[in-house]
Structure 1
Amino acid sequence: MVRNQTLPLDDRIEEMDPKYKKVLGSLAANLAASTLKLKSRYFHRIGVAGKGSLRLYNVLPGLPDHKIFGPGATYPVIIRHSNCLSSDDDARLDPRGAAIRILSHERTTPLSPLLDLTLKTGKAFHARTIGDFATWLVCGAAAREEHVKHAPHIRDAMWGSLRRPNSYTELHYYSNICRLFRFKDGQEMYVRFKLRPFDEKIGEESGEVEPRGILPPETGAIPRDENDKRPLLFLAEDFQLRVSSPDKVRYVLQLQIQPIPDEERVREILLDCTKPWDDKEVPYIEVGEITIDQVLTEKESEELEFNPFFRCDEVDVIRATSCNQSASIDHGRSLVYTICQHLRNRKPLPEAWRIFLDQSDIKLDLSGCPLAAKLENKDMPKATLARQWYVTVKKGGFVGSRAVAMPGATIDCGGSLGALSLAMKEEMIK
């Protein structure tokens, strides 16, 4: 085919192989459908945010000269804490998040991001690649439990991410995912970030949950303890009170750095986000302190759009060409985040993203968005993933893990992640 040279392209899509595009396109379309239906984020839906400053230490032993993370530098920052799936009760067991935006002094707009870092509780993530992540979402509990029998570190990552906290400010948060550090002398290294409470007495075990089975249930459905009488959103209230107190809220920003190996096989091992780096072999470097002294309003917090692709050349996203590469988690989610944020905020999608979604197996109803013509006689926009039974159930194929169609019936998953396409499942099985 002849490429239209006038069409704006997204280099993140252009460098993907066909299978990567297929898997990520289906995942993006499915999450986009959920975003349209919920009119909100799918993950980390509710949260609380504040702003303040990052002050880097005057002496940074072990860290080569870096343009952004240089001795004595200061930056405005915004931090947003959130629950992963629980959107109505802070007492539910859930992974907790800390998204950090570092703002640039050089930009004309005060809130222009220099760098976004998305961290969470737990030293590891449960999916090494974007392909693994998509497969995990569509398979049932039995398949997941069978999988972790052969990969016990995945089980540890799931349980290790859950927290039962008394405060967002008393937890340790990890990036899990590697970024690319470029130093002034041209050297490049892999980096992982960590945020810890300023109080050194608060250890990494703060808020930990003891495993009670092979895998935890869906975290958004875990009820609070019967004797827990705290308010539903006590974590948000606690954060706001602490920020407004004389002591403010303080954290220490840490990082681990490693040289980039020459062998691709070794690079894949270092980039594997399901396995933390040994902090004895690769010790944390404490680079600075974050002080949060102002609470953002609920509206300001909701309007925040954290995205891994808000990065700079000095702290870059590592690219992937295949959905089977470890780097595909960060590279792939940066595109999914952006698409969903545009739809949530009713912004027009660039043509490259529309084509990307159109080529997936998920038929997305975008009639409620400004990028498509308004349909007549349509009272309310509705995102649907309705399919005839023979599309979902094929001889020798799979049945969706959350719905089983009978002959003559139609499945309407309404944006459920269980509706990822059969073709995608077959691709992942291959």
Structure 2
Amino acid sequence: MIKNISHVLDDRIEEMDQKYKKVLGNLAANFAAATLKVKSRYFHRIGASGKGTLKIYDNVPEFPDHKIFSPGKCYPVIIRHSNCLSSDDDARLDPRGTAIRILSDDTEKSNTSLLDLTLKTGKAFHARTIGDFATWLVCGAAAREEHVKHAPHIRDAMWDSLRKADSYADLHYYSNICRLFRFEDGNEMYVKFKLRPFDETIDEDSGKVDPTGILPPETGAIPRDGNDTRPLLFLQDDFNRRVNSPNNVRYVLQLQIRSVPNTERLREAALDCTKPWDEKEYPYVAVGEIIIDEILAKEESENLEFNPFLRCHEVDVIRATLCSQSASLDHGRSLVYSICQHLRNNKPLPEAWRNFLDHSDVKVDLTGCPMENVIEKNDNQKVTLARSWYQNLWMVGKSGFVGSRSVAMPGVTVENEGSLAALSLAMKEEIVK
């Protein structure tokens, strides 16, 4: 098969096997259709955003030399806090999220993002792979409850993610998913991220919800307490007030590090985001402090496009080729994020993504969506067949004849490869046959 190279390919799609493409394509198409319908984010629709700086500590014990997380480095950052499903009332019980954009410290590239990190409350996620995530979305409550009977850690992950929040700034956020760090000495390690309040008296169970059933109800439908009289978007009001206060909003960025296992089975276990790493064996290391001292304008906040696939040599995304691999969740969701963000902000959709959606089982109406231009072709010179057909054919196949005294064709032998007339006659006779 010959690939169409008139448009830029997405290597995230090209390296997937067919089952992975089908599962992710259907998932992306469903989210794309929902995005076009609501003209907004599917998850984490409302929240609060601010700007500030990340200052890496001058001395980080037991942390190898790293180009980005290097002692004394200072980076501009953007943070966006949000609710997972609750889009109209901050008082609903819900997982809370935070996205961190670390911008370049180069003044000439001040708007260039180095890393986009997505974190949430709770130390684990409820799906190990993108295939598990897609199945969880489409199966009913009864099937989910039956599943967690055999996987109680999934139940724990669901409940542990819920938070009754009084302030976005008083919660602990975890990446769940890990990245591949490459250090200055050439060593590679798996790393997870955590963002905690600067105030150490605020422990990680802040806002935690006690289980009241097998699984939490759909969080977007959990009503607020009848005695709660706070405004609907009180978390955003609180965040804005704190940012504008003399102490601003302060966090500590922490990393959890472990060596890359030497077998596929152990690597799969290490990448399993449904099971937290043992903190005694792999303790969190505080690497820097984030101070948010400026509120991001609402329009600018709405247009933010956090890209989990944004990576560099020093902090890389771990790739997957199968939807059953643990790395498929991070690898796959990055493509869904990108497609939905383009649709939400009415940005031209690359042809590779459009084709990806077209091959899914879910039909998405993209007729009103702009599309990126295909690679421009240089048509300044008019192309003509200046030679006869047999001369062009000779030029194409000439490299195969050089150095041989005869050219073999089915039933035909041409002596003396230099004889164009004999070759053309033989070809004509073969074509007639």
SS in 1 for 2:236: helix
SS in 2 for 1:52: strand
SS in 2 for 1:254: strand
Please give the alpha-carbon distance, in whole angstroms, between the structure 2 residues aligned to 1:347 and 1:251. 33
Cross-structure match for 1:110:
110
Cross-structure match for 2:84:
84
SS in 2 for 1:196: strand
Structure with more relative contact order (C-alpha pairs < 8 Å, separation 6 or more) = 1
Cross-structure match for 1:204:
204
SS in 1 for 2:243: helix
Cross-structure match for 2:21:
21
SS in 1 for 2:353: helix
Q: Which letter maps to 1:205?
A: D
1:271-286 matches, cutoff 5 A? 271-286=271-286
How far does residue 107 in structure 1 lie from its aligned partner after superposition? 6.8
Instruction: Describe the superposition over 1:321-380 as per-residue Cα deviations: whole angstroms up to 9, x where unpaired.
Output: 0000000010000100000001111111111111111111011111221239xxxxxxxx
Correspondence 1:99 to 2:83: no
How far does residue 106 in structure 1 lie from its aligned partner after superposition? 3.0
SS in 2 for 1:267: helix
Instruction: Describe the superposition over 1:156-215 as per-residue Cα deviations: whole angstroms up to 9, x where unpaired.
Output: 000000000110000000000010001111111000000000000000010000000000
Please give the alpha-carbon distance, in whole angstroms, between the structure 1 residues aligned to 2:187 and 2:349. 37
How far does residue 311 in structure 1 lie from its aligned partner after superposition? 2.0
SS in 1 for 2:19: helix
How far does residue 111 in structure 1 lie from its aligned partner after superposition? 2.2
Cross-structure match for 1:232:
232
Cross-structure match for 2:169:
169
Cross-structure match for 2:426:
none
Deviates more, 1:269-278 or 1:360-369: 360-369
Verify the 8 A CA contact 2:48 2:82 in the aligned structure 1: yes
Correspondence 1:325 to 2:328: no
Cross-structure match for 1:380:
none
Instruction: Describe the superposition over 1:233-275 as per-residue Cα deviations: whole angstroms up to 9, x where unpaired.
Output: 0000000000000010000000111100110000000000000
Verify the 8 A CA contact 2:351 2:371 in the aligned structure 1: no
Deviates more, 1:109-118 or 1:165-174: 109-118
Please give the alpha-carbon distance, in whole angstroms, between the structure 2 residues aligned to 1:8 and 1:108. 28
Please give the alpha-carbon distance, in whole angstroms, between the structure 1 residues aligned to 2:145 and 2:247. 45
Please give the alpha-carbon distance, in whole angstroms, between the structure 2 residues aligned to 1:111 and 1:213. 46
Verify the 8 A CA contact 2:74 2:105 in the aligned structure 1: no
How many residue pairs are counted as aligned between the two chains?
373
Please give the alpha-carbon distance, in whole angstroms, between the structure 2 residues aligned to 1:84 and 1:324. 25
Cross-structure match for 2:422:
none
SS in 2 for 1:192: strand
Instruction: Describe the superposition over 1:249-302 as per-residue Cα deviations: whole angstroms up to 9, x where unpaired.
Output: 000000111100110000000000000011111011000000000001111111
Cross-structure match for 1:367:
367
Please give the alpha-carbon distance, in whole angstroms, between the structure 2 residues aligned to 1:4 and 1:33. 26
Cross-structure match for 1:343:
343
1:306-321 matches, cutoff 5 A? 306-321=306-321
Correspondence 1:132 to 2:132: yes
How far does residue 312 in structure 1 lie from its aligned partner after superposition? 1.8
Please give the alpha-carbon distance, in whole angstroms, between the structure 2 residues aligned to 1:280 and 1:26. 40
Please give the alpha-carbon distance, in whole angstroms, between the structure 2 residues aligned to 1:51 and 1:105. 14
Q: Which letter maps to 2:132?
A: D
Percent identity between the two aligned chains = 76
1:154-303 matches, cutoff 5 A? 154-303=154-303
Please give the alpha-carbon distance, in whole angstroms, between the structure 2 residues aligned to 1:371 and 1:331. 24
SS in 1 for 2:190: strand
Please give the alpha-carbon distance, in whole angstroms, between the structure 1 residues aligned to 2:32 and 2:107. 31
Instruction: Describe the superposition over 1:376-414 as per-residue Cα deviations: whole angstroms up to 9, x where unpaired.
Output: xxxxxxxxxxxxxxxxxxxxxxxxxxxxxxxxxxxxxxx
Please report the TM-score for the alignment, with normalisation by the length of structure 2: 0.85
Please give the alpha-carbon distance, in whole angstroms, between the structure 1 residues aligned to 2:107 and 2:136. 40
1:402-417 matches, cutoff 5 A? none
Please give the alpha-carbon distance, in whole angstroms, between the structure 2 residues aligned to 1:87 and 1:7. 37
SS in 1 for 2:23: helix
Please give the alpha-carbon distance, in whole angstroms, between the structure 1 residues aligned to 2:13 and 2:272. 22
What stretches of structure 2 of length at least 5 have no aligned partner?
373-433
Cross-structure match for 2:153:
153
What stretches of structure 1 of length at least 5 have no aligned partner?
373-430
Cross-structure match for 2:54:
54
Please give the alpha-carbon distance, in whole angstroms, between the structure 2 residues aligned to 1:270 and 1:144. 24
How far does residue 109 in structure 1 lie from its aligned partner after superposition? 4.5
Q: Which letter maps to 2:76?
A: P
Cross-structure match for 1:35:
35
Instruction: Describe the superposition over 1:107-153 as per-residue Cα deviations: whole angstroms up to 9, x where unpaired.
Output: 74432211000000000000000000000000000000000000000
Cross-structure match for 1:69:
69
Cross-structure match for 1:378:
none
Q: Which letter maps to 2:98?
A: A
Which protein is bigger by CA-based radius of gyration? 2
**What is the root-mean-square deviation in Å for CA atoms of aligned residues?**
1.2
SS in 1 for 2:352: helix
Deviates more, 1:140-149 or 1:344-353: 344-353
Please give the alpha-carbon distance, in whole angstroms, between the structure 2 residues aligned to 1:14 and 1:369. 23
Verify the 8 A CA contact 2:51 2:292 in the aligned structure 1: yes
